[in-house]
Structure 1
Amino acid sequence: MTQSKTWNEGDTIIWYDLETSGINKAFDQPVQFAAIKTTTSLEVLDTFNFDIALTADVVPCPDALLVHQIPVTHRPTAISQNIAIEKIHHIMNSPNTINCGYNNLRFDDEFLRFCFYKHLYHPYTHQYSNGCKRFDLYPAVVYYYLFAHDSLTWPAIDNRVSLKLENLARHNLPPIEGQAHDALVDVKMTIGLAKKMMENSDAWPTVVGFFDKNQDMHTSSQLPFLQAGRKSHCMGLLIDSSFGLKQDFSSICVSLGRHQHYKNQSVWLKLDTHPLETFENEADFFRVIVKKKWGEPPFLLQPEHATQLSSNETKQQMLEHNMAWIDQNPDRFDRIIQSHTSSSYPTHNQVDLDAKLYDTPFFTSLEEDICQQFHVAPPKAKASLINQIAHPTLKEQGERYLFRYHPEVLHLIDSPSLEDYRHKLLHIDSSPIKDHLGQEKRTPSACLERIEAISHERSLTDLEKKRLRELEIYVYDHFIRPLEDNES
C-alpha cells in the first residue's frame, strides 16, 4: 500500500519561483525572485518579491527575455545579485522550512544551488538542515492526473493535455492579476493549485509522503520480488513527467540495485516501453534506465497501480515479452546490471569554475568560517582575506565575487585566473567557457545572432521588439564596445 503523510504542524512553506536570464544553471542568473511564506494550511505569513540586477559577466538569452519580458535595463528597484542570494539563502534555510515550487526540483532548486555555490554559501542545507526539506507540486500534479483525475480540470491544447502551470490555473482557479511568468503571479498560481489539490484528503497525504525519504524507502521494502535472470529483483511502478504522456507518465521497472558510486541512487530498468532485444550493447540501454533518489521523483508505487492506467494492456504485453527475454538471456542481464550500476557521469575538460559545484568537496568547518568572515567584511577587507586563502577553489570564487560586485578593489589582489576569465568574456581569448555538461557559456555574438534570427522567425509585438532592442544595446555597450576599446 502506498504510504501517506502530512506535514508537521510547526512547518512553514516557502512557495517560490525564479525568472532567469536563461536556462544554463551554471552561467545564467536570476532576474526575479518571488516567494510567499505560508503555514501548512496555506495561511499567508509573509511575501518576498525582488528584481535582481544583471552582473557584468552574464549575457542574457533572448528567448528567455521574450518569455518573462523583464527589461535588462531601467530597473530602479533591482538589487544586486549578491544581496539577493544572501536574502534567498536566509529565507530558504529558516528552520523547519519546506521549499516548494512548480517544477522546482528540475530547475529552480538546482539553479539556486549553483547560485549559492558561486556566492560562497552552502548549496545544500536548504534540503536537509534544521528541519528544512523540499516539495515539488509538478510531479504531484502528474500523480493527480493519473490517480486523482477528478480533483482538477485538465486543459487540452491541440487535443493534448497540458500540465503547464498557467493553463492549469486558467481552468481551475479564479483569475489572478498579472501575467504568467511574473514570479509572484506564478507563486500565487502554485498556491491556488495546491489549495485545490488539498481538498482531496486521500491523494494529498500520498503525494506529500513521496517526498519523505523514510516512507519512500519503506515503500521500496514492500515491493514484490520476481525472478529476473539468475536472481530475484523487486519491481515497482515509477511515475515521472519525463516518461511522457503517451506512456501515462509511468513505467513498470525492475530494480538493478544501488549505484556503486552514487550511493544515494538506485537504478531501475523499464520493462514496458521498448523490446530489450533491440539494444545492441549495454550502453544503449540508457534509454530505458531510470535513476532514483529516495524522497524525490520518480514516485515509487506498487506495480498493481498500473492496472488503473489507460495504457496498461499494451504495456503489460511488453512487460511479459521483456521478462521472457531476461529469463532467456541471464548473462546479458547481468552485464546490463554491472554496466549501469557502475557507470559514471561523463566528465569534460576545461570546466569553468562557476560550473564546478559537483566537483568541489564540501568546505571544512575552517573554510566555512572563512566564508562567513568574507560575507560580513567590507570590500577592502574581502580583498585582504582573499590574499590569505590557501584553498585554490575558494580563493578563485572570492576573486570572481569581487569581479562581479566590487571591481573597485580588484587592484588589491593579484589574480592571473581572473584576468584569463575576463579575456574569455570579451573574446580576447577565443577559447569557450564551458560548464560541467560541456555546454558553452553564451557569448555576446551568439546573443546578437539569436536576436536577428528571432526577428526573422516570428512576428513580434511592439513590446517584444522593444525588449530585444534593449538587449541588443545592452550587449553592445557592455561587451562589444569594451572589446573595441581594448583593440584600439
Structure 2
Amino acid sequence: MASYLFYDIETTGLNKAFDQVLQFAAIRTDMKLQEIDRHLIGVKLRPDVIPSPLATITHRIAITQSKQGLNEFEAIKQIHQLMNQPGTISLGYNTLTFDDELLRFCFHRNLLPPYTHQYNQGCRRMDMLPITNMYYLYKRESLNWPEIEGKLSLRLEHLSTANHLATGMAHNALVDVEATVELARRFYSETKMWHYVTDYFDKESDRQRLEEIPINFHSIACSNRVGLMVSNELGSVNQYQVPVLLIGNSIPYKNQTLWLRLDLPQLRETTPDNIPETTWVMRKKQGELGIVLPPHERYWRYLSPERQAIVEENQDWLQSHTQLFHKIICYHREFSYPWIPDLDIEAALYQNGFLSEQEQALCHQFHAASLAEQIKLVTQFENIAMRQLASRLLCRNYPDNLPKMLTQDFADYWRRINPQNEAEALRDYKNQPRLTPLQALNEIAQLRSQAHLDNQQLNLLTELEDYIKTQFSVPSCEGEKSRLWGR
C-alpha cells in the first residue's frame, strides 16, 4: 500500500559525506495525509565526528544529549527500513538537496543499499520545497506568504509561524515534520493542483510531460524544446523559474537531461573558449528536481517583457550560430565531474560506482550476523574499500575487545581526521575539506565574537569546546601539537 513518509533530520553539520544524523523524525500518512504512525530516533554522536559549532547553536542539541540514543549503525538500519517499506514515498522540506543525500552517505558507510528507497518495491521520493514554489506561483491564495525584512521567505519556520502549522521550536526534527505534514494538508485542499504537482515526482508522468513540450527547432543533439524550469535555487528575484532549452542528455550520466538557460544576455557573448563562463546548464533527472513546465501563456507571463525579449534573441542567435551552438552542446553533454585522487572511502560513493552482486550479498550477510561473525566477515570483503568501511563501522559502534587488525586501521583513520597540517584534511566528493578540531575551535571563537547569541547558545559552544579538547588531539596554528587533551 502506498504511503507518504514525511521526515526531517538534525545533523552535526552540512557535509553530506562526513557529518551524521543526530535526530530523525518521521510521520507516515496514507495518500490522503491521514497519520498512520510516527517515529523519533535519537542517534548517538560518533567518536570520530566533530560537530559544527554553527549547527550546534541552530538545532541546540547539547553534547550531553548527543551521547544518548542508538549507535549510528543501529539507528541507520531503522531509518533505512522505514524508507524502504514497500510503496513508501519519502519526502520532507528541502530533503532532496540535503537530507536525502546525507542519508545516502549514511547508508553507504553502514553497508546498506544507498539507492533502493528511490525505486525499489514502489518506493520513490518527493520534496515539499519545489511544491511550495509551485503553489506560491500558481495557487498563492493557499497560504499566507511571510516576508522577512521586506523579502519573501520560504523557510519552513517562517511559513509555519505565518500559517500556524506547528507549535514548538524550529530545527527540532519532530516539530519540523509536523509543520511539513500540515503544510501538505493545506496544499492537498487544492486537490487538482496537488495531484498535478506531485506527478512531477513520478518518473513516468514526468517523462511524458517532458515529451509533450512543443519542439521549437532541431539541432544535431536532439529536438530542442523550450520550457520553464521551476527551482528554489533560482530565487524570488526570478520568480523561482527560468526559461530553458533542452539540449540533450549527458553522455557520462545518461539519466540526466540538460537544459540551457535562455534568459541570460551573456549567452550571446559565447566563444569556443569561454563556454563554461557564459552558458548555464541545469541538469535534471526524470521524477526529480527541477520541475519543467510547458511554455503556456499562464506560466510565461511571469517573465518580464525584458526577459522574454532576451529569450527570443538568444534562440535566434543559437539558430544562426549552428557551429558554436554545437560546441556548447558537446561541452555540456561530455562534461564529467573531476576525479578526486585519494578520496576517502566514506566520500567515494559516487566515484567508486555500484557494488557487485557478491559484495551486496556479503553486506546483507554482515547485517544479519552476530558481532563475532561480523568481525570474521570483515576479511571476506575482497574490495579493500569495503573492508575498511566494515572495519570502521565496528570500531565506531562496538569498540570493545576488537582485534588489532581492525583497531589499527581505525587509528590510522583517526590521525587523518585531525591532521598536523590543515591542508591534509580529508576531502569529500566535492573536494571540500572535512571539518577538523582546530577549524571547529576557530569557528567557536568567531561565533562568540561576531554573533548575537543567547545564554543557551553560549553554553552549548562552551560544552562543545570542552568536548573537542577532551576527545581530540588539537594541533596548534603552526602545525605542531600544542597539547594532548584526554588522549
Tell me the TM-score normalized by structure 2. Answer: 0.93
Aligned match of 2:455: 462
- State the Cα distance separating 1:83 from its structure 2 match: 1.1
Q: Give the SS at the match of 2:79.
A: helix
Cα deviation 1:132-158 (Å, max 9, x = unaligned): 111111000001111111111111112
Q: Which residue of the other structure, out of 85, 95, 99, is the alignment partner of 2:90? A: 99
The separation in 2 between residues aligned to 1:85 and 1:476, in whole angstroms, is 28
The separation in 1 between residues aligned to 2:130 and 2:65, in whole angstroms, is 37
- State the Cα distance separating 1:64 from its structure 2 match: 0.6
Residue 389 and residue 76 in structure 1: after superposition, are their counterparts in 2 closer, same or farther (change >3 A)?
closer
Aligned match of 2:392: 400
Q: Which residue of the other structure, out of 53, 58, 79, is the alignment partner of 1:88? A: 79
Q: Which residue of the other structure, out of 228, 237, 243, is the alignment partner of 2:228? A: 237
Residue 287 and residue 109 in structure 1: after superposition, are their counterparts in 2 closer, same or farther (change >3 A)?
farther
Q: Which residue of the other structure, out of 198, 206, 225, is the alignment partner of 1:216? A: 206
The separation in 1 between residues aligned to 2:45 and 2:365, in whole angstroms, is 25
- Does 2:321 correspond to 1:329? yes
2:3–2:87: 8 Å Cα contact kept in structure 1?
Answer: yes
Which consecutive residues of structure 1, in runs of 5 or more, have no partner in the other structure?
1-9
What one-letter code is carried by the residue in structure 1 that aligns with 2:432?
Q
- State the Cα distance separating 1:234 from its structure 2 match: 1.5
Aligned match of 2:357: 365
- State the Cα distance separating 1:463 from its structure 2 match: 0.2
The separation in 2 between residues aligned to 1:19 and 1:221, in whole angstroms, is 39
- Does 2:34 correspond to 1:43? yes
- State the Cα distance separating 1:380 from its structure 2 match: 2.9
What one-letter code is carried by the residue in structure 1 that aligns with 2:80?
H
Aligned match of 1:388: 380
2:417–2:434: 8 Å Cα contact kept in structure 1?
Answer: no
- State the Cα distance separating 1:425 from its structure 2 match: 2.4
The separation in 2 between residues aligned to 1:104 and 1:391, in whole angstroms, is 32
1:154–1:162: 8 Å Cα contact kept in structure 2?
Answer: yes
Cα deviation 1:55-75 (Å, max 9, x = unaligned): 011000000111101101245
Residue 332 and residue 287 in structure 1: after superposition, are their counterparts in 2 closer, same or farther (change >3 A)?
closer
2:260–2:279: 8 Å Cα contact kept in structure 1?
Answer: no
Which consecutive residues of structure 2, in runs of 5 or more, have no partner in the other structure?
476-480
What one-letter code is carried by the residue in structure 1 that aligns with 2:206?
D
Cα deviation 1:171-229 (Å, max 9, x = unaligned): 2235x331000000000000000000011122111111100111111111111112366
Aligned match of 2:133: 142
What one-letter code is carried by the residue in structure 1 that aligns with 2:38?
T
Residue 406 and residue 432 in structure 1: after superposition, are their counterparts in 2 closer, same or farther (change >3 A)?
same
- State the Cα distance separating 1:313 from its structure 2 match: 1.6
Aligned match of 2:186: 196
Aligned match of 1:344: 336
The separation in 2 between residues aligned to 1:160 and 1:319, in whole angstroms, is 27
Aligned match of 1:7: none
Q: Which residue of the other structure, out of 188, 204, 207, is the alignment partner of 2:197? A: 207
- State the Cα distance separating 1:287 from its structure 2 match: 5.0
Aligned match of 2:173: 183
Tell me the TM-score normalized by structure 1. Answer: 0.93
Aligned-residue Cα RMSD (Å) equals 2.2
Residue 384 and residue 234 in structure 1: after superposition, are their counterparts in 2 closer, same or farther (change >3 A)?
same
The separation in 1 between residues aligned to 2:160 and 2:94, in whole angstroms, is 15
Q: Which residue of the other structure, out of 5, 24, 31, is the alignment partner of 1:14? A: 5
What one-letter code is carried by the residue in structure 2 that aligns with 1:470?
E
What one-letter code is carried by the residue in structure 1 that aligns with 2:431?
G
- Does 2:434 correspond to 1:441? yes
- State the Cα distance separating 1:320 from its structure 2 match: 1.2
1:352–1:435: 8 Å Cα contact kept in structure 2?
Answer: yes
- State the Cα distance separating 1:363 from its structure 2 match: 2.3
The separation in 2 between residues aligned to 1:286 and 1:18, in whole angstroms, is 37
- Does 2:466 correspond to 1:473? yes
Residue 386 and residue 245 in structure 1: after superposition, are their counterparts in 2 closer, same or farther (change >3 A)?
same
Cα deviation 1:9-28 (Å, max 9, x = unaligned): x3111100000000000010
Aligned match of 2:478: none
2:339–2:351: 8 Å Cα contact kept in structure 1?
Answer: no
The separation in 1 between residues aligned to 2:317 and 2:428, in whole angstroms, is 40
Aligned residues: percent identity?
A: 33
The separation in 1 between residues aligned to 2:161 and 2:486, in whole angstroms, is 53
The separation in 2 between residues aligned to 1:191 and 1:309, in whole angstroms, is 31
Cα deviation 1:339-369 (Å, max 9, x = unaligned): 1011101222221111011123322332222
Shifted more, 147-156 versus 407-416: the winner is 407-416
Residue 75 and residue 270 in structure 1: after superposition, are their counterparts in 2 closer, same or farther (change >3 A)?
closer
The separation in 2 between residues aligned to 1:307 and 1:375, in whole angstroms, is 50
Q: Give the SS at the match of 1:116.
A: helix
Q: Give the SS at the match of 2:179.
A: helix
The separation in 1 between residues aligned to 2:177 and 2:164, in whole angstroms, is 13
- State the Cα distance separating 1:78 from its structure 2 match: 1.9
Aligned match of 2:18: 27
Shifted more, 358-367 versus 345-354: the winner is 358-367
Count of equivalent residues: 478
The separation in 2 between residues aligned to 1:442 and 1:305, in whole angstroms, is 48
Aligned match of 1:6: none
2:44–2:67: 8 Å Cα contact kept in structure 1?
Answer: no
Q: Give the SS at the match of 1:303.
A: coil
Aligned match of 1:253: 244
The separation in 1 between residues aligned to 2:251 and 2:128, in whole angstroms, is 31
- State the Cα distance separating 1:413 from its structure 2 match: 2.3
1:379–1:409: 8 Å Cα contact kept in structure 2?
Answer: no
The separation in 2 between residues aligned to 1:11 and 1:99, in whole angstroms, is 11
The separation in 2 between residues aligned to 1:33 and 1:286, in whole angstroms, is 41
1:282–1:339: 8 Å Cα contact kept in structure 2?
Answer: no
The separation in 2 between residues aligned to 1:427 and 1:180, in whole angstroms, is 35
Cα deviation 1:428-474 (Å, max 9, x = unaligned): 57622111111111000000000001110022211001100010011
Cα deviation 1:214-270 (Å, max 9, x = unaligned): 111111111111236677512111111111211111111111111111110011111
- Does 2:142 correspond to 1:151? yes
Q: Which residue of the other structure, out of 274, 295, 310, is the alignment partner of 1:318? A: 310
Residue 396 and residue 76 in structure 1: after superposition, are their counterparts in 2 closer, same or farther (change >3 A)?
closer
What one-letter code is carried by the residue in structure 2 that aligns with 1:63?
L
Q: Give the SS at the match of 1:73.
A: helix
